Amino acid sequence: IAHRLSTIQSADQILVLEHGEIVERGSHDELLAKGGRYRHLYDKQYRFEKDRFINPGEDFTPEPEKVVAAARGSSAL
């Protein structure tokens, strides 16, 4: 059982379970080619991982943030 699909990519056979039922079966490449549930999970997980890092050589210049000063109210102790 794996939640990170990268840990099972080299397995001979991968079973995709949904609500306790096998919904897909095959190798990593076969399951990606089918375009089913495994592909959906893989794309979702890969996109999340990819978005967490900046690729080497990629320009990363954050936009300046607008700073709004809040007025201080008087507080009685």
Rounded-to-integer distance, Cα 21 and Cα 41, Å: 16
Number of structural domains in the chain: 1
Domain coverage including residue 23: 5-52
The stretch 39-66 carries a mean pLDDT of 67
Where do the DSSP E strands lie in 1-77?
A: 14-18, 21-26
5: confidence class by pLDDT, cuts 50, 70, 90: confident
pTM over 0.75: no
Phi-psi category of residue 55: left, alpha or beta, with phi > 0 → left and psi -120 to 50 → alpha: beta
68 part of a folded domain: no
15 part of a folded domain: yes
The reported pLDDT for the residue numbered 45 is 85
The reported pLDDT for the residue numbered 62 is 55
67 part of a folded domain: no
Calculate Rg over the CA atoms of the chain.
Answer: 23
29 part of a folded domain: yes
